[in-house]
Amino acid sequence: AAGRDPARWDDPDRFDIRRKGANLSFGAGIHLCLGQALARMEFNAIFEAILRHVDRIEPAGNGRRFINNAAVGWAELPVRLTAA
């Protein structure tokens, strides 16, 4: 269940960027994703670029989950950006 275990997390299906604890989206140990360093650098670069121009990021509708046997993520997650 990784980050969606209801025994470990309150409201496990809700995205909460402030959630404390281990994030298992890239796996761990022998199951570690080899591309995680690049993915994290890309994510940081994108968000740093966006945040230079944006004052606020907020939900703009209901997201649609992407769930299969290998991964859990968002197929669609609408957000509203307010210019700085």
The residue-averaged pLDDT of 42-71 equals 90
Q: Please, are residues 33 and 26 in contact by the beta-carbon 8 Å criterion?
A: yes
Structure confidence at residue 63 as a pLDDT band (50, 70, 90): very high
Structure confidence at residue 4 as a pLDDT band (50, 70, 90): confident
**pLDDT tens per residue across span 23-50:** 666 777 777 788 888 988 999 999 999 9
d(CA 67, CA 82): 30
pTM for the structure as a whole: 0.51
d(CA 23, CA 50): 23
At 66, which helix (H) or strand (E)? strand 64-67
In whole numbers, what is the pLDDT of the chain averaged over residues? 84
The residue-averaged pLDDT of 51-71 equals 88
